[in-house]
Structures are given as C-alpha cells and as structure tokens.
A and B are shown apart, each in its own frame.
Chain A
Amino acid sequence: MSLDFKTGAFNDFFRDETFRGDFTYRNSNPRRFPFPFDRDDYMYSVNMEPHVPGRPGSVFEHIFDVDEHYVAEMKDRAKVLADDPLRCQSLPHMTLAGWDTLELVMEAKARDYPQWFSLTKDGNRWHWINRPLGIEQSFTFLDESTLPYGPFEYIMRQTQGDWTLQDERDGTLWMDAGIATSQADWSVDFDVGMNFHEWHAPVPLAHEKGVFDRALKFLLKLQHGAPVRRFNWTMTVNPLLDTAPETYPKWGPMKATLTPENLGQKQHLRVELQTLYRLPRSNAIAFDIRCYLASFDEIVTVPKWARRLHRVIRDLPEELATYKGFLRNRPAMVEWLAKHDDGAPTSPGWWPDD
C-alpha cells in the first residue's frame, strides 16, 4: 500500500541529491557535521559514552538523526540492494532480533519526528506511516508473512546507516545479520556469521593494544534501555556512500583522480557515528554505523576544525593511514590542509568555537 503524496512533497527539507554519477551531495549547514576529533591527535580507542539525547539541532538531538539526506540515502540504498541483494543478510535465527530492531526504530522515529512518522498499535496489529518515503503499512508484529521483506530488511530500507545484529553466545558476540550499503570497505556477505574478534581481524594495531578485548567486555554488559555510542572515521574521494569491497574496482580508481585544485571539493571526511543497543526479546545487540560525509571545503569553514584536521592527518601512524585506505593521498591532503592551519592552539572538544 502506498500513500498519495510523493517524496517531492518534502523537498523544502529533504535534499534531492546523488551519491554517485554527478555527486550532487552537499551539507546545507556544515557546522552540523559531527566532527570526530576532540584533540589534535588520534589513536584507536574504545571511547564509548552513553547515547543520550544531546544539543538541540545537533546530530545528537534524537536517538536516531533523520537529516536532510534521508530520502536521497534511502534511494541510494534501494539502488545498491537492487544491484547486489547479498548486501543485506540475516541468518535464520536472527528474525526475532530483526523484529526488535524494527520496533526500536519505529517507536523512536514516531516519537521524535511525529510530522514525518506515525506508529499506531492495536495489540500486535501495527500501522506504520513513513511520509518522506511515501510508505503506509499495516502488519502483524512478529509475523513476517505480513511484511513485504523480512523485518530487518524492511526497516533497514527506511533507516539511514549500516547495521549489524550481534547474537550473544559462548561469551562473545556473533555478527549474524547485517546490511552495508553506505559502508567503509567491509563485506557483509563475507563477514556475516563471524564473532567479534574474527570480524575485526583485519584492523591493525588495535588487537595488540587489547582494544577489542576491552570493547567486547564492555559490550557484553550492555543493558536494554542504556544504549552507548562512539565515533570512527575514514576518508573517501567523492561523496560516495557505497564503498563496499564488492564494488572496489568501480570506486577504487576515483582515489587516483585527486589534484590540488579539486581536492577541497572531492576529498571527504567520512565519520561513523556508531551506536549500540541491547535488544529486548532476542538479547542480541544492534550496532548502527551511521555515515556522515563532509568535503574538506566544508570542514575548513570552521577554523578550529581546519587546524585540527591538518594536525591529525599529518601525524597519523602509517599503519592506520594504510588501513583507512588513504596513504597514497595523504601527502596531497596534508599539503592542502596546511594552508588552512595558522598554527594557533585549538580548544578541547569537538564543537566549533563560536
């Protein structure tokens, strides 16, 4: 069933833009970007904090941030899934965790954005309206035969961010469901079914530092009703949401297209706002990896961020620059960024100064 209104009805808020081809993605307000560095250097760490609603107008205002890119991101996701349905997988025992996830997202969005989303319940008979995407759906909660997709895929086609669902067994977490269409270089198809340490195997330095042992210990104690968050980041040439290994031969060559003239416009800092939720019925843990992109041109409009980004990229250990996939372009980035760093001290924390 579909509503009468078209997605265009919300064009005053949701941008009509692309993450491929002509790359028309832009941030109307770069200051809203979740700049991830709270100091002038960076090393991999667990750095978890409670995921509680934060500063109004920021990406932390609500549990799930629905921003101006929502509609365009969901269109891009639909294209990726049409090209390669293996990007969304859920092992058979994860259906219940999928329902938990659907409930989490629908309840939060209907509560925080009543102008766009609505959820009404009559026992297990639920009615969901997603106005920006023009979706109206009546279904029976916990009965997957009443939805056009499994519960996980259904809600993921309406939710920004890549997600994984972790089953807890044998003292570790097993990534037994996941979707990746806006993700930095890991394969759902290959990694699904792996445990926490296996899945992170390719990450350099962090294993030796015990980062994953500590993170796992922390996550196993995660309680329902008390979600947590952390940041991760990498670099992408062009505002490309889908940087999966599957399509690396398509997007890899773009890395070789940077010039000093186009770098500010093409080179993007890619920030992952990672949030984790204990799910009630399945006891699984949902991991939301939400991607934010900002071009270097947009970032340097905030002087503090310009200075800091230069220092972080310049001083990053080589292994990390390699793992994050931008070693070849680092000298060019540092040269470009140096022009925006006057050497002045920066204030602690990630918020802009003014």
Chain B
Amino acid sequence: MSGGAKLQVRVAEVVEVNELIKRFRFVARDGSELPAFSGGAHTVVEMDDQGTRRLNPYSLMSDPEDRSGYEISVRRDEAGRGGSLFMHRHVAPGMEMVLSNPVNLFALDNRAKKHLMIAGGIGITPFLAQIAQLTHFGGKFELHYSARSKPLGAYMDRLTAAHPDRVHCYFDELGQQIDLKRVLANQPIGTHLYVCGPKGMIAWVLSTAESLGWPKQALHSEEFLAPGTGLPFQVELAASGKTITVGPTQSLLEAMEASGVDAPYLCRGGACGQCETNVHKCDGTILHRDHWLTPEEQASNQKIMPCVSRFEGKTLVIDR
C-alpha cells in the first residue's frame, strides 16, 4: 500500500497560535494510543478538499512519549496550492482524518556530544519534539530561533521558560541576527548541527559551517518542498496505459492518484526518494525540484520525482 501504514484519527483541538499559525491535535478514533515516534519525524496528513485529495507532510511537534495524541503546527500560506488554507479554514474539532505513520528524515544523531539547533519561523516544529525527547534522556542541546517579530515567534515563551540558558531568540524586525560564526566556533568536538527554516537560511547556515571546517556528516537540515505550481502538462503512464493531464496547482503524483494509479510515496516533499520513477521518453524539459536525485541524475532526464517535479515540452513517458 502506498505511503505505508495509516492512522485513523479525529481532530481533538485547533488552537490559533498567532495570526499565521494554527496548531492541530489528533487523537486515535478508537481511543487507543498512537505509536511513539522519534524527534524530527513528520506525518503526512490526508485532506479531502472538496473532491481534491491533498497529502501534505507536517513535522510532529508534540512530546514523542505522549501517545495520547499528535500535534502539528501549520503556517497559512496564501500563495500556496491550498493545503495550508484547507487546514486553517476547514479543519475543526471532531473531524475525522487520516495520518501516515511517523517517518523520520531529520533524526538526531544520538552519538553527538551536543546538538546545536538553528530554527527559522515555522521550522521550529521538529525541534520542539526533539527537545522533548532530549529532555527525557538527558541529551545536551542549544537552540537559536529567529522569527520575524515577537508575536510571530511561536512557542518561544514555553521554550525560554523551560530552558532559559539553552534557548536564544532573535527578531528580524528588531534587526537581530544570530552571530553564526561565533556560535559555530564555540561548539565542542562531536557537536552535530541541525537547521530547519526558510531555504535561504538553510543554505546560509550550511555553507558557513562548511567554510569553518564542519564535516558534512555533522550537518543536518530539513526543508519540505511544497510541490509548487506551474503550467499544466501531459504525461503518458506506460505501465498503466493511461495519459493524464497535470493541472496547474496539482502535482504529478496527485494527478496519478486522481486517475486511480497507485504510486509509492512517503514524504511528498522531494526528500525521501520513495516515489522515484524511471523516465522512458522525454522530449522537453523536466523541472526537477527535489532534493533526492543527484545533479547528474537530474541532468540525465532518466528519472523524475513525481511528488514535486514538473515537465515542460512535447512528450513525457514514465514507468508507472
């Protein structure tokens, strides 16, 4: 079954955290415990948006040992394809939904002497679960968290109250910025770095660390790509003998699913590699938007990640 084991849940609570972010709590419909998970894991939330099936990955932010429910935070994206808007406008307590079992593509390295975490905006969510897990098991961490303004700094209050010496907050509108070079220079040998936030911030943190001699195996980042919009395009599915049209706000994976073709996936954000599909014929340009394929594989046009990538041109035939 595509996407693996599923969890049948009910929405227990919806909380407006600030003007952009809402928090959702899910509990098992039959009242049983949900599986424990590892800090940094995400779940894929299935949405039925007036006939359009949307599956979006969100980091689990609740305490991994709290098996009575899962919590996620969703930032409203007015310009997105509608997943976050659906969550904000239509999801209310009592609604029944389906989640994937937790999957972790942003795990802590448990051998680390210390965990250095750098978060931007909504990128704080996986760290909330990781900090809860480290607190249970006595791991060392240091968090640097920046937000646009104080009101938009979700969960800063609870973090600074619980860990006053380990959490450092920065606000863009006050012109504050983390002194990254100094922070990186002060870490004991064996520290691992984790960064989650906007694309530009991730690139800045990783390149700064590498230029200071940090090894790439000690650098961890997570960025879920929204599939993104684009021009509609046609795709021939060789194995199922169908030709489908991918709409402007639809991903190729979603278009396959809508036509009844069962395609594998885990993260739906270009990171996990599960949906990797061979290309039989490509007369045009594949718009690769994933983190999975190597630059060489992307350039060869022999593979595509249907969860995020698109196509422009005459003919695309894929093995699905």
- Could you list which residues of chain A lie within 8 angstroms of chain B, going by C-beta atoms? 91, 93-94, 96, 142, 167-170, 217, 221, 223-226, 280-283
A221: B residues at CB distance < 8 A:
266, 272-274
Cα separation A101 to B97 with both chains bound (whole Å): 30
Interface segment out of the listed B33-41, B120-128, B311-319: B33-41
Asked if A93 contacts B272 (CB within 8 A), the reply is: no
A282: B residues at CB distance < 8 A:
38, 110
- Could you list which residues of chain B lie within 8 angstroms of chain A, going by C-beta atoms? 4-5, 35-38, 41, 64-65, 101-104, 107, 109-111, 133, 136-137, 217, 266, 272-274
Asked if B36 contacts A169 (CB within 8 A), the reply is: no
**Chain B residue at minimum C-beta to C-beta distance from A176:** B111
10 closest A-B pairs (Cβ-Cβ)? Answer: A225-B5, A93-B110, A223-B4, A283-B38, A280-B36, A283-B104, A93-B111, A283-B107, A225-B101, A281-B36
Contact A169:B101 (CB < 8 A) given known A223-B5, A224-B5, A283-B41: no
Contact A225:B38 (CB < 8 A) given known A96-B137, A168-B107: no
A94: B residues at CB distance < 8 A:
110
B101: A residues at CB distance < 8 A:
223-226
How distant is A122 from chain B, measured CB to nearest CB, in Å? 14
Chain B binding site: helix, strand, loop or mixed by DSSP? Answer: loop
Cα separation A91 to B274 with both chains bound (whole Å): 30
Cα separation A142 to B36 with both chains bound (whole Å): 13
B37: A residues at CB distance < 8 A:
224, 280-281
Q: A280-B36, A281-B38 are in contact. List 17 more A-B contacts (CB 8 A).
A: A93-B110, A94-B110, A96-B110, A142-B136, A169-B109, A217-B273, A221-B266, A223-B103, A223-B266, A224-B102, A225-B4, A225-B5, A226-B5, A280-B35, A280-B38, A280-B102, A282-B38
**Chain B residue at minimum C-beta to C-beta distance from A91:** B111
How distant is A280 from chain B, measured CB to nearest CB, in Å? 4
Cα separation A177 to B222 with both chains bound (whole Å): 28
Cα separation A170 to B216 with both chains bound (whole Å): 9
How distant is B149 from chain A, measured CB to nearest CB, in Å? 35
Cα separation A175 to B47 with both chains bound (whole Å): 38
Cα separation A256 to B101 with both chains bound (whole Å): 52
How distant is A33 from chain B, measured CB to nearest CB, in Å? 31
Contact A170:B110 (CB < 8 A) given known A223-B266, A224-B5: no
Q: Can you list 18 pairs linking A and B with CB atoms under 8 Å apart?
A: A91-B111, A93-B110, A142-B136, A169-B109, A170-B217, A221-B266, A221-B274, A224-B35, A226-B5, A280-B36, A280-B37, A280-B102, A281-B36, A281-B37, A281-B64, A281-B133, A282-B38, A282-B110
**Chain A residue at minimum C-beta to C-beta distance from B33:** A121
Cα separation A217 to B266 with both chains bound (whole Å): 14
How distant is A140 from chain B, measured CB to nearest CB, in Å? 12
Cα separation A170 to B217 with both chains bound (whole Å): 6
B103: A residues at CB distance < 8 A:
223
A280: B residues at CB distance < 8 A:
35-38, 102
How distant is A305 from chain B, measured CB to nearest CB, in Å? 34
How distant is A39 from chain B, measured CB to nearest CB, in Å? 26
Cα separation A91 to B109 with both chains bound (whole Å): 13
The residue from B4, B109, B274 contacting A226, defined by CB atoms under 8 A apart: B4
Cα separation A96 to B109 with both chains bound (whole Å): 12
B273: A residues at CB distance < 8 A:
217, 221
B272: A residues at CB distance < 8 A:
221
**Chain B residue at minimum C-beta to C-beta distance from A281:** B36
A169: B residues at CB distance < 8 A:
107, 109, 217
A225: B residues at CB distance < 8 A:
4-5, 35, 101
How distant is A252 from chain B, measured CB to nearest CB, in Å? 37
B110: A residues at CB distance < 8 A:
93-94, 96, 167, 282
Looking at B38, B102, B273, the one whose CB has the most chain A CB atoms below 10 A away is: B38
